């Protein structure tokens, strides 16, 4: 009898201790399907024909580099460096060295800027200048990367 009474006293106590509160949260997610623009063909549109003679060029200096988003130039500068390391030309790319270096004869100065045309296409503008700050070659490339362009214009394949 004592055992039965003990069981009946513990059973209701254990029933109250197992009560669990459940909470639920409703979340609504709005998704929008953005259609990508049609991919344009990868081309180079030359705006000023190439007048630089690579036999007389000592090296290249990356004078300015403007990327799609702020901070992305720190990704582009190493890709320029990687492509230029395989050439016989000297290459100067660090900002503080470029400012101290100045404009010297025999060097070509590269101005590079990149922008979005739409949500699926990019455009990059390249201007090559000599020591007199005159443009010797200029073009706009659509949907082409740095390594691909440098090889197509003959710098990395020199």
Instruction: Say if residues 109 and 129 touch (Cβ distance below 8 Å).
Output: yes
- Three-state SS letters, the chain: CHHHHHHHHHHHHHHHHCCCCCCCCCCCCCCCCCCCCCCCCCEEEEEECCCCCHHHCCEEEEEEEECCCCCCHHHHHHHHHHHHCCCCCEEECCHHHHHHHCCCCCEEEEEEEEEEEECCEEEEEEEEECCCCCEEEEEEEECCCHHHHHHHCCCCCC
* The residue to which tokens 């197992």 are assigned: 18
Which pTM does this prediction carry?
A: 0.73
Q: What is the pLDDT of residue 149?
A: 92
Q: Per-domain residue ranges for the chain?
A: 58-152
Q: What is the pLDDT of residue 107?
A: 93
Angle at 91 between CA 107 and CA 45, to 5 degrees: 70
Per-residue pLDDT of the chain (158 residues; tens, 9 = 90+): 666 655 666 655 555 555 566 777 887 777 777 788 899 999 999 999 999 999 999 999 998 888 877 777 788 888 888 888 888 899 988 777 777 888 889 999 999 999 888 888 999 999 999 999 999 999 999 999 888 999 999 888 87
Q: What CATH fold (topology level) applies to the domain 58-152? A: Immunoglobulin-like (2.60.40)
């Amino acid at each position: 009898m004592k055992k039965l009474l003990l069981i009946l006293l513990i059973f209701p106590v254990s029933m109250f201790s197992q009560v669990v509160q459940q909470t639920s949260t409703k979340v609504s997610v709005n998704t929008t399907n953005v259609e990508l623009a049609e991919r344009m063909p990868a081309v180079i549109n030359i705006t000023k024909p190439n007048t630089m003679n690579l036999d007389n060029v000592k090296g290249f200096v990356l004078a300015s580099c403007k990327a799609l988003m702020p901070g992305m130039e720190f990704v582009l500068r190493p890709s320029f460096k990687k492509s230029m390391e395989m050439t016989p030309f000297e290459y100067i790319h660090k900002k503080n060295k470029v400012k101290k270096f100045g404009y010297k004869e025999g060097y070509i100065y590269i101005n590079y800027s990149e922008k979005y045309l739409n949500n699926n296409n990019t455009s990059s503008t390249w201007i090559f200048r000599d020591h007199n700050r005159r443009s010797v070659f200029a073009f706009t490339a659509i949907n082409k990367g740095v390594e691909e362009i440098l090889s197509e214009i003959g710098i990395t394949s020199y």
